[in-house]
Amino acid sequence: MDAKGISKAVIKRLPRYYRYLGELLEDGVERISSGELSDRMKVTASQIRQDLNNFGGFGQQGYGYNVRHLYNEIGKILGLDRTHNMIIVGAGNLGQALANYTSFERSGFKTVALFDINPAMKGMMIRGIEVRMTDELPAFIKTKNVEIAALTLPKTESVAMAELLVANGVKAIWNFAHTDLNLLLPPDVVVENVHLAESLMRLSYNLTTKETEVKNT
Intervals of CATH 3.40.50.720 along the chain: 84-197
Q: Where does the pLDDT of residue 206 fall: very low under 50, low under 70, confident under 90, or very high at 90 and above? A: very high
Q: What's the CATH code, domain 84-197? A: 3.40.50.720
Q: Is the separation of the CB atoms in 164 and 104 below 8 Å?
A: no
The verdict on pTM exceeding 0.95 is: no
pLDDT of residue 41: 87
- Residue 167: the pLDDT is 96
Q: Quick check: 4 pLDDT over 60?
A: no
In terms of phi and psi (left: phi > 0; alpha: psi -120 to 50; beta: otherwise), the region of 55 is alpha
Which pLDDT value is given to residue 163? 96
Provide CATH 1.10.10.10 ranges for the chain: 3-77
According to CATH, what is the number of the domain 3-77? 1.10.10.10
Q: Name which of 62, 65, 61 is nearest 73 in CA terms.
A: 65
What does the pLDDT read at residue 61?
Answer: 65
Question: In the predicted model, is pLDDT for residue 60 greater than 90?
Answer: no
Torsion of CA 184, 4, 87, 101, to 10 degrees: 120
Give percent above pLDDT 70 in the chain. Answer: 95
